[in-house]
Structure 1
């Protein structure tokens, strides 16, 4: 059953880390960014979807002990299909930095040195020296886990990993999952290549935060539904499976 967009609209929320990074990147652009297959239809500043399919009214808020640090390839924050944005919607302690081969944001180095955090670079262990690889998130007294995600295409992420010496001394969390990616907005040749928000959900689960992980997974499904329905010029199914699951998780928190 379809119904109109929720009313009243969701209250405006302050811009999160990915939103601020996107604004800064747009300010440096020499010409307007145009997503692949994009159009000039007005988009919501809060969720990047076309206004008719705005997602802001159902944005979930989940308290987490863990944090997420996104190191993003140059135009990743500009893409409407980017799912790092969803992580920042859900996880309050999400940090976002643009990546460059020749420079590193001093604020990123400050974050990595902050004694409240235990950073983990999330990357496949097969590409890393065995002594750096961990497969679980062990509690560290006085520290909170901080998951560092390289938000980029796979070729870009490998380059970023190799050419970021400030990450070299950090443990590498290698994820093992028998799940198949549910991400439908960009093509991948492999079912075990997860989008950024799926990786974050796996990390949150490892950190003992299953409710946050499940919420992020459900929120991705809702975002995907809105995105694809807008692309096909079809109305949102507000009482469909994805929305009901997200709503149920909100009520169980």
Structure 2
């Protein structure tokens, strides 16, 4: 069964008035991993368990972009939900998810943009609940607007990540190296929540996706014996 981001992509395509033309759209891509068919990486997909859940609130065209990394999160974390952000109103299914007693919703966003009393640096959930990390999947400019204009998130804690790392993401450019891609943010959240194996799997899956994606673009064959692929193979042996 397609995961949440794949379903959101299909729904977005179904309501499109005209085809979405992405960069490299002439390339024949695997519908499962979105990489050029010649460099498909589906056979390397790791299967891991995670206690955490993810909620992706995606800007309108993010699910359509082959380089989107929210898709990779849904590949790894079984309990991933995806919704299109709406300028006016909100998807009732999203509100129902935020009210689901199984979860403790936590918005992941820089603390400087939230009221100080909402900001947390550690993952704390009530007994019997699971963390539900809410990620705004968009460009930085779009994400700030989404954060400001989503009143249904106002009462939730805001996890402000303090990791001093430089983004490894190479498929889109950012003017600031401290801006992590969505999958990198999710991996940090998984680590803070104690889902170390899932965090590692997502990090390595991002590296493999990037390697195969750029390999196809620059006519380079990925090395199945490098550290990234060996780590993915090890997940399959467990």
Q: Specify the TM-score bucket, using the shorter chain as the normaliser.
A: over 0.9
Q: Distance in 2 between matches of 1:250 and 1:183?
A: 24
Cα RMSD, aligned residues only = 1.1
Deviations 1:160-186 (A, max 9, x none): 000000000000010000111111110
Alignment of 1:29-178 (within 5 A): 29-36=16-23, 38-178=24-164
Deviations 1:224-248 (A, max 9, x none): 0000000012223211222112223
Gaps of 5+ in 1: 1-13
What SS is found at the alignment partner of 1:147? strand
What SS is found at the alignment partner of 2:147? helix
Deviations 1:49-78 (A, max 9, x none): 111111111111211110000000000000
What SS is found at the alignment partner of 1:46? coil
Contact 1:137 1:207 in 2 (8 A): yes
Q: Which aligned runs of 4 or more in structure 1 are off by greater than 4 angstroms? A: none
Contact 1:70 1:95 in 2 (8 A): yes
Deviations 1:74-103 (A, max 9, x none): 000000000000000000000000001112
What SS is found at the alignment partner of 2:104? strand
Structure 1 length as normaliser, TM-score?
0.91
Change (3 A) 1:135 1:250: farther
Q: Distance in 2 between matches of 1:54 and 1:67?
A: 27
Deviations 1:201-243 (A, max 9, x none): 0000000111110110011000000000000122232112221
- Please name the residue that 1:21 is paired with: 8
Q: Distance in 1 between matches of 2:139 and 2:146?
A: 10
Contact 1:204 1:210 in 2 (8 A): yes
Gaps of 5+ in 2: none
Aligned length, in residue pairs: 238
Contact 2:52 2:132 in 1 (8 A): yes
User: Following TM superposition, by how much is the alpha carbon of 1:40 offset from its aligned partner in structure 2, in angstroms?
Assistant: 1.6
Structure 2 length as normaliser, TM-score?
0.97
